Structures are given as structure tokens and as C-alpha cells.
Amino acid sequence: MKLSKSIITLLVIAGVVLVAFIWVKNSYNKMVLQEEQVTTAWSQVENVYQRRADLIPNLVSTVKGYAAHESETLEAVVNARAKATQTNIDPTNMTAANMEQFQNAQGELSQALSRLMVVVERYPDLKANQNFMELQAQLEGTENRITVERQKFNETARLYNTTIRQFPKNMLAGMFGFERKEYFEANEGAENAPVVEF
């Protein structure tokens, strides 16, 4: 009789340990999966920003052909592009300061492009140029993609952040070093619609 009670006790303990192990394994794997999804979403954000940066030299060259004396505006775009492409974030180190620095660099580039588009208004021949019109359409499409990818990133980061903050997964997240990811936030003054005329 004593032997069967000790066997039952061992089986119960083994069952509890097995259930706990399965829960920890599944929870850990879910956090890994969601962290990888955040990294993938971030890569897509960088991808569309790179697409925009790649369009800018052609756009500047086209404008330069028509508006050579607008060199200050063109230089501002080139400099903003250089700064934006040099500001990179490692997905494993998405701190608030790094995200703010990245957003500021991209915001400066957006402002420089807006000023360039204002300059373009002074040159009707440029606005009618087929190459410029195609670049403008590609740039507009890229800006839309940036918005979509930023929204996807924020949603993916929200799901991940929610998972690692929920009890009792928050204890596992702390033990295994899963940290909260930052979101894209609207820039100051973003509540006012920009005036961009093409």
C-alpha cells in the first residue's frame, strides 16, 4: 500500500512538473515568435524608408536640371537624406531615445522634401516633365507604404508588449530578458495637416 501511495505521489509531482514545463515552453516560444515578428515588422519599416531614400537622388537630379539656382533647397534634401540613412536602429535595442532620433531624422527628410515640392511649384515645365511625374508618383506611393508599415509595426509591437506584460508571463519575460518595444508616435505638430502641393 505504501509503495502505491509513493508512486501516485511521484506521478502527481511528475505531472505537475510536466504541465509547468509545457506552459513555460509554450509561453517562451510565443514571446520569441512575437519578438521576431516585431523585428520583421521593423525591417519592413526600414525597407520602405530606404525605398524613399533611394528615390531622392533621382528626384533631386531631375529638379536640379530645371531649378539649378535652388541649390540651398536641394542641398537641404541631400543632407537630410544622408542623416536619415545614417540613423539606424538595431531591433534588439529599440529604446525611446533611439526611436525619437530615428523619427526626427526621417521627419527632417520629410520636411526637406516638402520644401522641395514648394520650389517645384515655381517651375511649370518641371511639373510637366514625365520623369518628374513618375518620381513624384513613386514618392507618394512610398509615403503611403511608410504609413502602412509603421501601423503594422505598432500593432505587432503592441501584441508583443501586451504578451510580455501579462501575468504570469511577465515573470518569464523578466527571467529571459524580453523587453518592451517602443512605438512610432506622431511627431509634434502632426495634428496639423501639412500643405503639400504637387
Q: How many residues does the chain have?
A: 198
Residue 62 lies in a domain: yes
What is the C-alpha to C-alpha distance for residues 63 and 133, in angstroms, rounded to an integer?
Answer: 11
Residue 134 lies in a domain: yes
Domain that residue 69 falls in: 22-176
Residue 80 lies in a domain: yes
pTM over 0.85? The answer is no
**pLDDT surpassing 70 at residue 197:** no
Q: What is the pLDDT of residue 41?
A: 95
* Mean per-residue pLDDT over the chain, rounded: 87
Local structure of residue 93 (DSSP, 8 states): G
What is the C-alpha to C-alpha distance for residues 94 and 117, in angstroms, rounded to an integer?
Answer: 32
Residue 4 lies in a domain: no
Of 43, 82, 47, 56, whose CA–CA distance to 138 is shortest?
56
Residue 53 lies in a domain: yes
What is the C-alpha to C-alpha distance for residues 59 and 131, in angstroms, rounded to an integer?
Answer: 9
- When divided into structural domains, the chain yields a total of 1
**pLDDT surpassing 80 at residue 59:** yes
Q: What is the pLDDT of residue 196?
A: 46
Q: 85: exposed, middle or buried (C-beta count within 10 Å: 0-12, 13-18, 19+)? A: middle
Residue 38 lies in a domain: yes
169-191 tens-digit pLDDT: 999 999 999 999 999 886 655 44
Q: What is the pLDDT of residue 43?
A: 93
Q: What is the pLDDT of residue 188?
A: 59
Residue 60: pLDDT band with limits 50, 70, 90: confident
Do 49 and 148 touch, CB atoms closer than 8 A? no
Do 52 and 104 touch, CB atoms closer than 8 A? no
**pLDDT surpassing 80 at residue 45:** yes
Residue 17 lies in a domain: no
**pLDDT surpassing 90 at residue 117:** no
Q: What is the pLDDT of residue 91?
A: 79
User: Grid coordinates 517651375 are at which residue?
Assistant: 123
Mean pLDDT (whole number) for 86-100: 84
13-30 tens-digit pLDDT: 999 999 999 999 999 999
Q: What is the pLDDT of residue 135?
A: 87
Residue 88 lies in a domain: yes
Q: What is the pLDDT of residue 198?
A: 44
What are the b/e assignments for 34-46, b being 16+ CB within 10 Å? bbebbbebbebbe
Q: What is the pLDDT of residue 189?
A: 52
CATH number of the domain bearing residue 143: 1.20.1440.20
Amino acid letter, 81: R
Q: How many CA atoms lie within 13 A of 128 on its CB side?
A: 3
**pLDDT surpassing 50 at residue 143:** yes
Sequence-distant (6+) residues with CB within 8 A of 10 are none
Q: What is the pLDDT of residue 151?
A: 95
